[in-house]
Amino acid sequence: MILKNISVDCVIFGFRNDKLNVLLWQAEPELLEKFLTTKEEYEQIKIIFEKNPALRSDNYWGLIGTHLPSEEDLDGYAKKVLQTATGLDEVYLKQFKTFGAINRVPHLRALTVAYYALINPDYHDLKLSPIAKAVKWFDINNLPDVIFDVKEIIENALKKLREEVQYHPAGFHLLPEKFTLTQLQTMYEVILDKKLDTRNFRKKIQNMGLLIDTNQKQTHVAHRAAKLYSFDVNIYRHLVEEGLNFRI
Amino acid sequence: MILKNISVDCVIFGFRNDKLNVLLWQAEPELLEKFLTTKEEYEQIKIIFEKNPALRSDNYWGLIGTHLPSEEDLDGYAKKVLQTATGLDEVYLKQFKTFGAINRVPHLRALTVAYYALINPDYHDLKLSPIAKAVKWFDINNLPDVIFDVKEIIENALKKLREEVQYHPAGFHLLPEKFTLTQLQTMYEVILDKKLDTRNFRKKIQNMGLLIDTNQKQTHVAHRAAKLYSFDVNIYRHLVEEGLNFRI
DNA sequence: CCAAAAGTGTTAGACCTACACCCATGA
DNA sequence: TCATGGGTGTAGGTCTAACACTTTTGG
């Protein structure tokens, strides 16, 4: 049975073309049905859609998420929603805040437990999204019209992400498996919204010991080819344990 | 009307006698009644108590909190619960995590949105707690038997607090208005669970510019009297904005 | 050979760590 | 006058910030 007062929403961040993007969708109850386990859940979701016409509008976008079924763990369900919507299994996913203002959703008292996910765009295939009418990446600085308090949720997610990348090496999850130092720097610049000094950035990042030199280089670029690095998961884990200063 | 699937709980930290304490209570529906707005809410709370005998046991303690009424904002209600239970108005209160494992409460599918509060013990008068059977401070290292997943919630709160005091000057809220540098250092030592070097600690803390010398000293102590400091709220705010490195 | 981005080193100042003794107070 | 905790300085090492030119690649 659906808990109609509780939903789970994911702010999915992706880093592509030197921009930070968010994945939004337009949901449709008929498509969601495949994802739900009982007829009853489906009927309840349908009622929620009927009461909120914005949910069906082609002009408004929403966060990927649904109401929480009573037989699902909160964290497990967030993961499941993300997996179904994106096809991705091993994703960095973090609960960051629960929103519960009284009128955040019209005609319904619902809290949403919000998560953010960091996605490596290499592995994201948008065709995998069987439960939505539309799914699309939007530049964080150029969001479309959104339903309810989605704007506020995204802004909060960005704020938390900004904090997190300064104290944890979480940002690596936004990059492809092999990346250049310039990509890494740009990612930090975009998230923190400030320019960084290239020489100092490289020194600092290389001193952390997180980088593994893959001995490969970019190819087919019209300039000196950059070296490709991957990052060392063991040292990453160790740094997370320690609690590190990642201020850049 | 009570949202029976959602509760709000506060992990209330206090720092007294060089120990970090948590305030727990034993709730009783008859006393909670005064706090609830409708008869219906009261009936619902009573049913929840009937289904969970541990809630009435004298041997088990719980976090201060109740189910969320549908007409209350989430954050506002957390504040209200805290205020009613402790009599305190201006308290540092922070939402830190929502717990939603499927069997966290027997016979009831309920999430709890958990907050932690930092309390200056000077202003805490335990007599003010009209809605509980019992309210008591417990040393964080010596907790009593607790109901449900309260232990896990407290552990999570402590972990978050530990993170927070390293990056924000939040810890000051645990001290009385005028405090000694030794108190401040002990507070950090207790929260971070490690010894700090006194000279280095003082240098670092004094360089931050947060401290105001009150030109007062301890009295009636059987050793050299320590200077009393207060902390500068404006610089505090400024540091919070900036995002600071408070690692100690 | 040109355009474009990759890659690199030094210096001055700030900050961090480790470490041991004298001081003020009340009993 | 003693016991107790308060209060202080220095030196060596590490980290940070500021700054400009050469290298490699494909077109």
Smallest Cα–Cα separation from A113: which of A86, A153, A145, A143?
A153
pLDDT bracket for residue B52 (50, 70, 90): confident
Q: Are strands A62-69 and A111-119 parallel, antiparallel or unpaired?
A: unpaired
* Beta-carbon separation of A70 and B109 below 8 A: yes
Longest dimension (CA), chain A: 60
Q: pLDDT digits over B18-47, tens only?
A: 999 999 999 877 777 777 767 777 777 788
Nucleotides in D strand less than 7 A from protein CB: 3-10, 15-20, 23-27
Distance CA B4, CA B30 (A): 18
Report the pLDDT averaged over residues B166-180: 92
Residues on chain A touching B95 (C-beta within 8 angstroms): 97-98
Q: pLDDT digits over A131-158, tens only?
A: 788 889 999 999 999 999 999 999 999 9
Smallest Cα–Cα separation from A229: which of A186, A180, A175?
A180
Name beta bridge partners: A94. Answer: A116
Q: CB within 8 A of B21, min separation 6: which ones? A: B13, B14, B15, B137, B138, B139, B140
The pLDDT, as a whole number, for residue B129 is 66
Smallest Cα–Cα separation from B240: which of B169, B140, B134?
B169
> Which domains does chain B possess?
2-164 (3.90.79.10), 166-241 (1.10.10.10)
Task: Of A169-178, B83-92, B158-167, give the lowest mean pLDDT range.
Answer: B83-92
User: Quick check: helix, strand or coil at residue B200?
Assistant: helix
pLDDT of B235 > 80? The answer is yes
pLDDT bracket for residue B247 (50, 70, 90): low
Tokens matching residue A97: 């805040």
Query: How many other CB atoms are found less than 10 A from the CB of residue B145?
Result: 11
Residues on chain B touching A113 (C-beta within 8 angstroms): 98, 100, 111
Report the pLDDT averaged over residues B66-83: 94
Return the DSSP state at A105.
S
Conformation bin of residue A226: beta by default, left when phi > 0, alpha when psi is -120 to 50: beta
In which residue ranges of chain A is pLDDT below 70? 37, 123-129, 242-248
Residue B223: which nucleotide is closest by CA–C1'?
Answer: C25
Distance CA B27, CA B12 (A): 15
pTM surpassing 0.85?
yes
The pLDDT, as a whole number, for residue B113 is 98
